[in-house]
Amino acid sequence: MTNEAAACRACGSPMTPFMRFGRMPVANAFVTEDQFAREYFYELAAALCAPCGMFQIVDHPDPAQMFHDSYAFFTRTSKGMVAHFRTYAEWVAERFLKKPDAFVVEVGCNDGALIENFATGGLRHLGIEPSANVAAVANRHGVRTRVAFFDPETARAVRASDGPADAIVAANVICHIPNIRGVAEGVATLLAPHGVFAFEEPYLGAMIAKASYDQIYDEHVFIFSARAVAAVFAPFGLELIDTVPQATHGGSMRYVLGRKGAHSVSPSVARTLAEEGRQGLHLAATYDEFRRRCERNRDELVGLIRDLRRQGQRVVGYAATSKSTTVLNYCGLGPHDIEFISDTTPLKQGKFTPGSHIPVRSPEAFADPYPGFAVLFGWNHETEILGKEKAFAAAGGRWIKFVPEVRLS
Ligand code: DWN
């Protein structure tokens, strides 16, 4: 595969990458030692489609390589996200699910942390999830699931079996689906006449502002802006009716769409679009500057870690996030730089990080004994992590942070 030039997945226009990260493994493909020699790699490069404003990666692995029956990310690993999903579900239910027989569908329900809030409220619901192992966890939480990718065919099948959806919801998943026009067609197929499609995703404006390039990896085929979302859904008769900024994942946006003319449009849509213009999200120069900031960030992070290692300091990582796969491989960091990464996910523990082959250990290993320095790969959960790891700082440990800038704290 090449990434010299490609067609925009949203509008088909030609586009050229502005930034290349090099060879990348699948972000959540944690490996055992015997798998090192046959890891799957692809070329990670990012591009902006000038005509429609869709930010996207150029090549992407086959989704079946990423979402399968041993998918390693479970939403419930963050208490903060579980609490966030409770309020997100309440927000949707209060506004859009008032009728007694209302039906809500979640696209990519993972372990059910969002949709279980509708299920426990007794609402008719269905979680659609392609990774059977995480869907099984959702089942155990009382969620009715269907193991499938969301596409027009799945949408037709759900409509035939359950009727139209009053709300289709999603969180951190629509940007994972390369066939975004298929998503739009599926939503248009399944949605009731006055239904809504609400989804939230890492926001392009926040990623550019923070130079948080680690949001770019195989699963994040797109990093959305309001402009691009409005443009890609419009041909399917769907209109952007609300945008609600969220603090999650370092800065996200909740988008709400409905059938054109079926709902009033919140003034927040015009405000968000105007702000995107002021930030220059449509300008090539913005992305050239973003690339320069990322390169500087990479060089400073590598320089700091290697200086510490030369001084004989122990450096470990905290949270083997999907994002850390981009950081580690882009920066060329390995087990000589970072001794291990502590992570709460049992499926990752005892394995090695994709491509960079750093051991992943349980959180108990972090304190046994505490290292001098820990790279905060879970920077988006900083409040939660620093809150529970006060003993590390009390023991003299220092956090290495790299978003938006490399610094010690
Ligand atoms: O979109 C996506 C986002 C929402 O979640 C997916 N593509 C996959 C995933 O991305 P991520 O792995 O970067 O997500 P998080 O939530 O930033 O990181 C989760 C990882 O961090 C898990 O492996 C658990 C770990 N973790 C930890 O070890 N200690 C997380 C917390 C909060 C902790 O205290």
Report how far ligand 1's centroid is from the alpha carbon of 362 (Å): 14
Given this model, what pLDDT does residue 1 score? 43
Report how far ligand 1's centroid is from the alpha carbon of 4 (Å): 31
Q: Measuring from atom 19 of ligand 1, which residue has the nearest CA?
A: 321
Residue of 101, 17, 8 lying closest to 52 (CA atoms): 8
Site to probe by mutation for ligand 1, drawn from 28, 78, 252 as the one with most ligand atoms within 8 Å of Cβ, is 78
Report how far ligand 1's centroid is from the alpha carbon of 319 (Å): 7
Longest dimension (CA), the chain: 65
Backbone torsion region of residue 110, taken as left when φ is above 0, otherwise alpha when ψ lies between -120 and 50, otherwise beta: left
3-class DSSP state of 73: coil
What is the residue type of 75?
T
Residue whose tokens read 């809504």? 196
3-class DSSP state of 362: coil
Asked if 27 and 354 touch (Cβ cutoff 8 Å), the reply is: yes
Report how far ligand 1's centroid is from the alpha carbon of 248 (Å): 11
Residue of 165, 131, 160, 156 lying closest to 146 (CA atoms): 131
For 235, which DSSP code? G
Six-digit token string for 54: 């869709």
Ligand 1 atom nearest to CA at 219: 7
Report how far ligand 1's centroid is from the alpha carbon of 214 (Å): 12
User: pLDDT of 43-73, one tens digit each?
Assistant: 999 999 999 999 999 998 887 777 777 777 8
Site to probe by mutation for ligand 1, drawn from 322, 328, 379, 392 as the one with most ligand atoms within 8 Å of Cβ, is 322
3-class DSSP state of 19: strand
Express as a percent the part of the chain with pLDDT over 90. Answer: 93
Six-digit token string for 166: 């009053």
The two beta strands, 238-246 and 252-259, are antiparallel
Asked if 329 and 356 touch (Cβ cutoff 8 Å), the reply is: yes
Six-digit token string for 169: 């919801």
Site to probe by mutation for ligand 1, drawn from 321, 364, 389 as the one with most ligand atoms within 8 Å of Cβ, is 321
Ligand 1 atom nearest to CA at 380: 17
Report how far ligand 1's centroid is from the alpha carbon of 73 (Å): 7
Ligand 1 atom nearest to CA at 363: 28
Residue whose tokens read 């059938």? 259
Given this model, what pLDDT does residue 4 score? 65
Site to probe by mutation for ligand 1, drawn from 79, 212, 328, 344 as the one with most ligand atoms within 8 Å of Cβ, is 344
Convert 76-88 to b/e letters by CB count within 10 Å (16 or more is b).
Answer: bbbebbbebbeeb
* Ranges of the chain whose pLDDT falls below 50: 1-3
Given this model, what pLDDT does residue 174 score? 97
End-to-end CA distance of the chain: 42
Asked if 231 and 344 touch (Cβ cutoff 8 Å), the reply is: no
Q: Which residues sit with their C-beta closer than 6 Å to ligand 1?
A: 73, 77-78, 172, 219, 249, 319-323, 343-345, 348, 378, 380-381, 384-385
What is the residue type of 363?
P
| pTM for the predicted model, two decimal places | 0.96
